[in-house]
Amino acid sequence: MTGLASVAHACNPSTLGGPGGINSNECENVSRKKKISEEFEASTMDFLVDMPFATVDIQDDCGITDEPQINSERSKEKERIKSDRVKKRKPKRKDYQPNYFLSIPITNKEIIKGIKSLQNAVIQQDKRLAQAMVRDGSFHITLLVMQLLNEDEVNIGTDALLELKPFIEELLQGKHLSLPFEGIGTFGNQVGFVKLAEGDHVNSLSEIAETANRTFQEKGIRAGESRSFKPHLTFMKLSKAPWLRKNGVKKIDPDLYEKFISHRFGEEILYRIDLCSMEKKKQSNGYYHCESSIVIGECHLENYLLYLFLISLASLLSWQIFKLSCICFSQ
């Protein structure tokens, strides 16, 4: 008689004080040890559940089985099955936290001016919402989100972006991809955005986004979202000012942007796609930290370089005019 059975026998009232039996004090000691042993076993299992591998079946990882191992061949087969099962398990979604994204910057001044007018109209009706507005330098369309954990993965992301360029240019066949913006929409009345008008351009942009997603994932980068791709231009989001909820602002009131429901904001020509960081410090103009970029089309590259030259020239001329003005006023 061993194990729990011996304990039960030893503590049976009929055996107490009898030949070969034990007294009541010894029985209490045995019961106390049994209780401690059970508590230790329970606390050990609780500890295992709290470990990082708790999402994997504890019995599998710890080699705990309901049946004894009959022979080594059966044991090897079970190990193989367990190994395959662990490999097939996908990490939990909570482990995936995007920190980089592909951005199409909005540079059309007509669109930017229209969005600023929209933001001012909303703020005039509720000044508290000023903190929920997106800065004009940050206006963009998100093409794809991803997780890049170190510099090596950022370099891989840069290579993936460069691979997109010939595909996009082949898709467009030398034509411009014009993105017209019209009307207002929201995500759950928490994020306000300017909508991309319907048309063939949406299909082209969706195809680019899908190819980008596939290209990054094939290189081992965790990318994409659970929801389907919906291109939009965010102008405000309540999450930028969490204190608004405490002050009674729990959603974006449609009346605030009623006048812009059918407003045409203008068209943006796709000429550049940037790999941007969500976490690194933004540039002085309000745009995100940019790791790398591709320019679509050679003519677009020339226009972009010309644009940069004109900006630099305008800044230089403004400085020269300012100095001349100072000289004139000082005389």
Considering the entire predicted model, what is its pTM? 0.63
How many residues are recorded in the chain? Answer: 331
Higher per-residue pLDDT: 10 or 314: 314
Work out the average pLDDT over 239-254. 92
Work out the average pLDDT over 185-203. 95
* pLDDT exceeds 70 at position 68: no
CA 12, distance to chain mean position in Å, is: 63
Per-residue pLDDT, 90: 42
Higher per-residue pLDDT: 84 or 90: 84
84 backbone dihedrals φ, ψ, rounded to 5°: -65, -40
The domain spans of the chain are: 3-88, 96-317
CA 48, distance to chain mean position in Å, is: 30
Decide which of 3.90.1300.10, 3.30.43.10, 3.90.1140.10, 3.20.20.150 is the CATH code for 96-317.
Answer: 3.90.1140.10
Three-state secondary structure readout of 51-114: CHHHHCCHHHHHCCCCCCCCCHHHHHHHHHHHHHHHHHCCCCHHHCCCCEEEEEECCCHHHHHH
Contact 236, 248 (CB under 8 A): no
Please report where in the chains the tokens 């079946």 appear, as a residue: 57
Using alpha carbons, select from 205, 101, 98 the residue that is nearest to residue 161. 101
Band of pLDDT at residue 136, cut at 50, 70 and 90: confident
SS3 of the chain: helix, strand, coil, percent, to 5: 55, 15, 30
241 backbone dihedrals φ, ψ, rounded to 5°: -135, 80
Three-state secondary structure readout of 282-329: CCCCCCCCEEEEEECCHHHHHHHHHHHHHHHHHHHHHHHHHHHHHHHH
Work out the average pLDDT over 54-58. 31
- Give the helix ranges, DSSP H, for 126-237: 151-172, 200-218
Band of pLDDT at residue 43, cut at 50, 70 and 90: very low
Per-residue pLDDT, 259: 95
Per-residue pLDDT, 115: 97
Residue type, 271: Y
